[in-house]
Structure 1
Amino acid sequence: MKSSHNDTITISQSFHSIQPIIKTMKLLRTQTFPKKKTYPNSEPNFTKNLHTHSPFSTPSLYIRNDGTIQRGGFKMKSGRIEQYRSYSQFSTLEEFNESNKMALDIHGHHLTKGERIAFDVLTRFSVKVLGVCNARICKLVQACQDIKGGISRSTFERMLRKARTLGIISILHTVRETGGYSHNVYIFNRFDTPNHEQLTSRKNDKKPQIPTADEHKKEPETHLVETKTLKDKDLRQKQVKTIDQINISDLDHSFVPDHIPAPFVKAIKPFFNRAKDICGLWDRAQIAYRSAKFPTTTSIDSMLPTIVHAFKQTVYRYKQKRIQTGFVPYFYGTVANLLTVEKRKMIAEDTQWGLWLEG
């Protein structure tokens, strides 16, 4: 049967009954689904040990709160400093300060000025639980900004890498409940732990045999070789430590590099004996030579008498107390002026300028 566009179509004629659909929607609204499986609070907490001071760290190991190690397990929650109290190796604040002082006495020369600032801030944030800090690195870097101009985040991270390599601290990663890594936990290692091990006597030990005269003569030779080797090793370590402690300002003229001409060093060293000052004056002379833009055929060594003459003129003016700025700036200006005069003479000789005045 065909219907025209003027015919009216009822719901009962075109669709099924709507009652079953309403019943289904009510059933879905009232239906209860099983809740997500949760674990009781008695389950042990774990934290993943990704970075320790040992180069043979195992990324797949998890550390319990009681110190035992197990593969896999639940991760330790982040944000609560009290749960890391078992990692503390110090009982009093004096022990913590003494350990850090000893660590800096041994490895402090490896840290720069900015890294020492970062280390001090990390120490101050590790007092609530002695030797343990769980502050975020952005907060630690922000705390450094009020100390001597502050430091950058890369400087703080470089300090952490050095301290972990030297064994001063250990670094643990924590994870969030929703997944993903959270902040780090920094644990200070103890540097003043005494050695309580004692030597014990062997059971049924035999009496030593009395050495003969020949054996007694050979013994000192062996000890002499061992003692000499140990002394050489200690001497090398002392030499390395001494080199680190000597400042570049303490080196005399004998440490001047070879690229600086010997006549220039000979003229300067009666007045400036330090290698740093001699190199600084030579750098000013090179800048003045490059500013004059001599031809490539004219080297700076050919201008050496002019540079030495400029230095002597500067010394004379300094003795007269006629220099108002400083010795080095005045020396640079004198060298630049004298080199300009020499260049003008060279140009006049090459072009024969002014010969028409002689007729």
Structure 2
Amino acid sequence: MNLKSGRVDQFEQFSQFKDLQEFNAHLEMWLAIHKNDFSKGELVGLKRLVRFAAKLPGVSNAKIGTILKAIHAEYSGNGISRSTFKRMIAKATEIGIFTVHETERKNGSQSSNLYVFNRFPKSEPPKKEKMDHPNKTINLSKTNKNQKITKRNETVLDHTFTSDHVPQSFISTVKYFFPEARQIEEFWKMTAIAAYKNNCELNTIQETAILSFKQLIRKMKTSVIAKPAAYFYGILNKKFEEKYFEELHEMGFSAEENDFSLDFFYKNK
């Protein structure tokens, strides 16, 4: 049976987030991995839907027509088509970014959909092995062999094992200071999150990422940095913000009128 349509407030039980900040953080993680799965027009539709999911964190029942009208007004008549928005819905639901529930009016006719954004999934922790078998004798020689095998399996992977989604130019810069594949991938993950937050295209951020990393290394030469990846993210975020506002200035728009970051959406709801 479908849900009954109504004010978004009545769907409070569907929200999976304690506040807007948590919703923002999870959406950033979704987009850091899957942003390139969407076209530019589809991303415009997704980000506008996010605005309508700000009042009740992660939940929206806005009509497609209302969303498209808002996009059309924001871009001075250059909006996106209904088919583009529906393609975005299909992709986002398949990925798992949000779940769509149909709603109906009192007379049984179909009403607007309910969009419920999902939390970014965490990896399941390894299952605990059963210990202390009283009826079995511990064989120390086998235990020592198993420990040696475990150590071999824990061999650190160097930069040559870095994921293909990380640009080679970035790998070449980072590997001399952080040679492990997982370290390089962590720095690039921070880059992707900062780029999304400031509405930067991933194919245009390599130069900024490399410059930011070099700034991090200079800082590490003179100071102790407890969390290099977090410090790197701070540098990136500042550079992307500066670049974003420079572009707005060149276009003749003010930040208040055109800021496309999630934080801005939330603060103005």
Taking structure 1 as the reference length, the TM-score comes to 0.39
Residues 92, 142 of structure 1: alpha-carbon distance in 2 compared, 3 angstrom cutoff: same
For the 8 Å contact 1:102–1:192, the answer to whether it is kept is: no
User: Which position in structure 2 is the counterpart of 1:155?
Assistant: 84
Alignment of 1:162-201 (within 5 A): 162-191=91-120, 199=128
Distance 1:227 1:192 in 2: 25
Indicate the SS of the match to 2:100: strand
Matches within 5 A, 1:27-66: 47-48=1-2
Q: Which amino acid aligns with 2:24?
A: N
Which residue in the other structure is 1:90 paired with?
A: 17
Q: Structure 2: give runs of 5+ residues left out of the alignment.
A: 169-201, 205-269
SS at the partner of 1:191? coil
| Residue 41 (structure 2) pairs with residue 111 (structure 1) | no
Name the CA shift for 1:212/1:182 in 2 (closer, same or farther; >3 Å): closer
Q: Tell me if structure 2 keeps the 8 A contact 1:93–1:130.
A: yes
User: Does residue 133 in structure 1 map to residue 133 in structure 2?
Assistant: no
SS of corresponding position for 2:163: helix
Structure whose residues are more often helix by fraction: 2
The 1:176–1:153 alpha-carbon spacing in structure 2 relative to 1, beyond 3 Å, is: same
What is the Cα deviation at residue 182 of structure 1? 1.4
Distance (Å, rounded) in 1 between the aligned partners of 2:125 and 2:142: 37
- Quick one: structure 1 residues 90 and 207, their matched pair in 2 at CA, closer, same or farther if it must change by over 3 Å? farther
Is the Cα contact below 8 Å between 1:88 and 1:130 reproduced in 2? Answer: yes
Higher RCO by CA contacts (8 Å cutoff, separation 6 or greater) = 2
Contact 1:98 1:192 in 2 (8 A): no
Q: Number of aligned pairs?
A: 169
How far apart are 1:211 and its partner, in Å?
Answer: 2.6
AA aligned to 2:73 is D
What SS does the aligned partner of 2:17 have? coil
Query: AA paired with 1:188?
Result: F
Residue identity matched to 1:156: F
Normalised by the length of structure 2, the TM-score is 0.51
Aligned partner of 2:58: which letter? G
Residue 136 of structure 1 deviates from its aligned partner by 0.6
- CA spacing shift, 1:223–1:109, aligned 2, 3 Å: farther
AA matched with 2:26: S
Asked whether the 8 Å contact 1:168–1:189 carries over to 2, the reply is yes
1:210 to 140, 147, 167: 140
More displaced stretch, 158-167 vs 198-207: 198-207
1:173–1:184 Cα contact (<8 Å) kept? yes
Asked if the contact 1:103/1:191 (under 8 Å) is kept, the reply is yes
Q: Which amino acid aligns with 2:105?
A: R
Quick one: structure 1 residues 246 and 138, their matched pair in 2 at CA, closer, same or farther if it must change by over 3 Å?
A: closer
Distance 1:79 1:150, change over 3 A: same
2:85 is paired with a residue of what secondary structure?
Answer: helix
Residue 121 in 1 paired to residue 44 in 2?
no
Shift of residue 113, structure 1, vs aligned partner: 1.0
Any stretches of 5+ residues in structure 1 without a counterpart?
A: 1-46, 49-75, 248-359
1:227 shift after superposition: 8.2
Partner of 1:280: none
Give the Cα–Cα distance (whole angstroms) in 2 for the partners of residues 142 and 99 of structure 1: 27
Q: Which has the larger radius of gyration?
A: 1
SS at match of 1:96: helix
Q: Provide the residue aligned with 1:238 in structure 2.
A: 163
C-alpha displacement at 1:99, in angstroms?
0.7
SS at match of 2:99: strand
Give distance in 1, aligned partners of 2:126 and 2:50.
30
1:174-323 matched pairs, under 5 angstroms: 174-191=103-120, 199=128, 202=131, 204=133, 208-211=138-141, 216=145, 220=149, 238-239=163-164
Cα distance between partner residues in 1 of 2:7 and 2:55? 12
* Alpha-carbon distance in structure 2 between the residues aligned to 1:88 and 1:140: 20
Letter in 1 for 2:88: M
The CA distance in 2 between the partners of 1:189 and 1:169, in whole Å, is: 5
